[in-house]
Chains A and B, each alone.
Chain A
Amino acid sequence: MSITVDKEKCTGCGLCEKACPFGAIKIVEKIAVIGDECTLCGACVDQCNLKAISLQRKKLKDVDLSQYQDVWIVAEIKDGKVRNVSFELLGKAIELADELMQDPCVLLIGNNVTKFTQDFSNRGAKKIYIAENEDLKDYHTETYSSVITGIISKYKPNIVLYPATISGRDLAPRIAATLELGLTADCTGLSIKDGLLLQTRPAFGGNIMADIICPITRPQMATVRPNVMEMASANDNENTKIIEIPVNVDLQGLKIKTKEIISASSSECGIPVCEADIIVSGGRGVGCQENFKILEDLANVLKGAVGASRAAVDLGWIPKSQQVGQSGTTVSPRIYIACGISGTIQHLVGMKSSDIIIAINKDPEAPIFNVANYGIVGDLCEVVPLLTEALKKRLSEN
């Protein structure tokens, strides 16, 4: 192991002992002593004000890669619910694991997460690793990244998939850099090629696609766009192994603390836009904040979420959390309805991969029509309410 405590520098202050999620550090005669439970997660290194702990990781270049087995997903739990994207990742993991003849596994981290075990075992997870602790209730980069870094180091998965959500995109690169691993961002396609994970992702504002591999490091890691992969379906699976991993968390030592949470969701059904199956989006063409009600009505009938262009957000008509595009959220719902949105590249990159795009715009030359499957040239204030009524009628007939 390559973690060392500099006895000259260490004063035995105990900060590292508290910071260690795996209870591996004891202070013995005013010196920190690191025990066998150490997973090399690095939490103590960042905590030590005296820089007394140093950790050397070796690049995996000459390591036997075959000791890295199984396809893991890091499940995301939010507000006491499993986010759908976790089941999408599992769906993909099962497919990849089948091909590799390894096991699809789930890492559940948080407070009170054991209760979700069945959701994943029913859907085909072969092993479920559980890191449960009261103080993991809220996501903090520092606590989650050290715990997961440690678990990965110990259990050595071959592949780890994270959701490309706000927290997933915060967490995955932190872990990748700590463990010196390659990481592919925002994948929209994953497959196995010559035994390696072939990762497909859009780049250059969605203008190109790239195929990427991580040949020399393990685990191979990627963040995966929500709403792109098919969810794993429930099919009762009996032999799931549960592995409970005891962890300690010290919130006292956090360098970043949340002071206040300001929820501002405008979508009545409370689905985050990145997970919505149907999105009704409005742009500058909506005209005013009040008119967003027209879009909400349509979204409600379709049980979808309301999205927006940057222009509408900047005008203060709708909160930033609903913004779709390069500087907002990337979405790929089944149906995306763009109302009064011109379709600039920064908007398109955020929604172009939707299955069906419907555009309503009064300008027939608007670029949004170039990507739309269906379009109506007209005033949204007239068209949208009529559409809402027609759909309401239609859906009640079915």
Chain B
Amino acid sequence: MKFIVCVKQVPDTTEVKIDPETNTLIREGVPSILNPFDQFALEEAIKIRQEGDEIIVISMGPPQAKKALLKCLALGADKAILLSDKAFAGADTWATSYTLTQCIRKIGDFNIVFCGLQAIDGDTAQVGPEIAAQLGIPQITYVESIEKLEGKKLEAKVQTDDGYKIVEAKLPVLITGITSSSFEPTNPPMMSIMKANKKPFSTWTIDDLGGSSDNYGLNGSLTEVIKVYSPPARQQGVVIEDEKPDAAVLKLIELLSKDKVI
């Protein structure tokens, strides 16, 4: 089988700040990482792969995104494709999913496409379903794990509002959502990193993908971010310290009723 995993290189959002003067993102000094949710998706693909299966990782991004792809190769992917072209810059989720769809079509003959739950920067969780719609294949979002893969069928455990459900899908299918519980970012061992450099790696540009240039990057984007700014800061709260539990609770209740919370 052929699995395609879509991965994005993202700034480590735990370290992103806003410049209070200009209200723009300070990206300098913020490390770029492989989106953790995409790593979980890749891990799931590796978990279910069998002898003879192939895992291809693809990413749209600047040339530096190669680093994220190399990490995927070191973790166990077989082949990587970087989609990098100035024309791809400024893509919203529609243009991003269009670009990835063109790439997936070109790869062809795939059985499962994996996307992460969401990218930790854009945070929209829209790219996965948008790819599935453009490919015209079914999607399963909020997948917890793949339970079974037999013949042309897949069984997945899916999160619902109040528990889980088990669904059965005909392949090909697109899957998003894995939040595997071994979420400590695994760092691949040195040996695999060295091997990764020898695995097939290609860079594709707009010429490789074809289609109208109107659909890529900023040109193809249908949403427009007109302003970014810091969220309003929360007011400094009251912390009750050094009190016996009953006295502390009493004080809290007093505060809550004074402020009309209860």
Contact = CB atoms under 8 A, between A and B. Distances in A.
Interface stretch (B51-59, B73-81, B251-259): B251-259
B104 to A, nearest CB: 13
Given A204-B13, A387-B249, A394 B257 contact: yes
Interface string A189-221: 000000000000011111111111111110000
Contacts of A215: 224
B161 interface: yes
Interface stretch (A67-75, A231-239, A260-268, A289-297): A260-268
A210 B225 contact: yes
Contact of A320 (B159, B169, B214, B255): B159
A379 B222 contact: no
B29 interface: no
Contacts of A186: 123-124
A220 B243 CA distance: 53
A371 B234 contact: yes
Contacts of A82: none
B213 interface: no
B133 A174 contact: yes
A208 B231 contact: yes
Interface stretch (A15-23, A104-112, A114-122, A162-170): A162-170
A101 B12 CA distance: 44
Contact of A375 (B141, B168, B183, B240): B240
Nearest to B261: A356
Contacts of B127: 173
Contacts of B138: 46, 141-142, 255-256
B27 to A, nearest CB: 10
B246 to A, nearest CB: 6
Interface string A141-178: 11001000000000000000000011001101111111
A373 B93 contact: no
Contacts of A326: 120
A176 B144 CA distance: 25
A256 B14 contact: no
Nearest to B242: A377
Size class of the contact patch on chain A? 35 or more
Interface residues of B, number: 86
Give chain B's interface secondary structure class: mixed
Nearest to A202: B231
Give chain A's interface secondary structure class: mixed
A356 B238 CA distance: 12
A375 B237 contact: yes
B166 A260 contact: yes
B204 interface: no
Which of B123, B159, B214 has the most chain A CB within a 10 Å cutoff? B123
A259 B166 CA distance: 5
A261 B238 contact: no
B39 interface: no
Interface in B208-262: 214, 221-231, 234-235, 237-243, 245-246, 248-250, 252-253, 255-257, 261-262
Which of B18, B138, B246, B249 has the most chain A CB within a 10 Å cutoff? B249
A212 B221 CA distance: 12
A390 B249 contact: yes
A248 to B, nearest CB: 19
B238 A374 contact: yes
A78 interface: yes
A395 interface: yes
B241 A265 contact: no
Nearest to B139: A141
A95 interface: no
A370 B238 CA distance: 10
Contacts of B137: 46, 255
Interface in A316-358: 319-321, 326-328, 335, 345, 352, 356-358
Given A320-B159, A345-B14, A376 B249 contact: yes
A185 interface: yes
Contact of B162 (A205, A272, A314, A370): A272
A260 B158 CA distance: 10
Given A205-B13, A260-B165, A211 B227 contact: yes
A272 B173 contact: no
Contacts of A176: 94, 126, 130, 133
A375 B239 contact: yes
A261 B139 contact: no
Interface in B27-52: 37
Contacts of A13: none
A216 B229 contact: no
A261 B165 contact: yes
B167 interface: yes
B210 to A, nearest CB: 17
Interface string B55-85: 0000000000000000000000000000000
Contacts of B139: 141, 170, 174
Contact of B224 (A202, A212, A335, A373): A212
A166 B252 contact: no
A21 B211 CA distance: 31
Contacts of A391: 253, 262
A377 B123 contact: no
The 5 closest A-B pairs by CB, nearest first: A182-B222, A185-B124, A177-B133, A177-B130, A264-B163
Given A259-B155, A262-B163, A314-B181, 8 more contacts: A142-B138, A178-B133, A185-B123, A204-B120, A272-B162, A345-B14, A377-B239, A387-B253
14 contacts: A181-B94, A204-B121, A207-B16, A207-B18, A211-B228, A255-B137, A255-B138, A258-B166, A261-B160, A262-B165, A320-B144, A369-B239, A372-B237, A373-B237
